[in-house]
Amino acid sequence: MKKLILIAVLALGIASVAAAQPRAIGARLGWGFEASYQHTLGNDFVEADLGLFTNSLNVAAVYDFMIAQPAWTDRGEWGFYAGPGAALGVGLWGNNGFNLAAAGQVGLEYTFWFPLQLSFDVRAQLGYTFGHAFYFGIGPALSVRYRF
């Protein structure tokens, strides 16, 4: 019985800590359209994106370090971030290549005093498309997310 109570208390504690972390969901618009999710971990955050580009489907995950949070306004929060990540992709519509890439991202975000977050970032990817060749891509994007 003691073990069951201990497991229940631990599960409840872990769930409450996970639920207390701010998250955001929205869209990232750049060279393609990406559904975007952010999960805050302390001062930093993890960003996961699922994107559809002209001829490929791409999944990227980036661990962003919050470099600075300047107090430029009385309301809302600014944040300057950068971090490494990875990306996987598969070609569509005649482009049958599978790709694997290392990614890097740097950006600036603003979270309003209501649950809206805007960010502008640049993500670079260096990877290999199996059966084809190495590639390098870099592109800016504007993100709009609902923060909860």
Q: Is residue 91 part of a domain?
A: yes
Q: Is residue 8 part of a domain?
A: no
pLDDT surpasses 80 at 20:
no
Q: Is residue 55 part of a domain?
A: yes
**Of 8, 39, 24, 32, nearest in space to 140 by CA:** 32
CATH number of residue 69's parent domain = 2.40.160.20
Q: Is residue 58 part of a domain?
A: yes
Which CA distances in Å does 36 have to 16, 73, 130, 135?
23, 26, 26, 23
| pLDDT given at position 2 | 65
Q: Is residue 40 part of a domain?
A: yes
Pairing relationship of beta strands 98-111 and 23-29 according to DSSP bridges: unpaired
| pLDDT given at position 93 | 74
Tens digits of residue pLDDT in 37-88: 999 999 999 999 999 987 889 999 999 999 999 988 889 999 999 999 999 9
pTM assigned to the model = 0.81
| pLDDT given at position 14 | 53
The count of structural domains within the chain is 1
Q: Is residue 132 part of a domain?
A: yes
Q: Which residue has the higher pLDDT, 7 or 73?
A: 73
> What is the extent of the structural domain holding 90?
23-147
Instruction: Specify the residue for token string 């069951």.
Output: 4
Q: Is residue 2 part of a domain?
A: no
Q: Is residue 11 part of a domain?
A: no
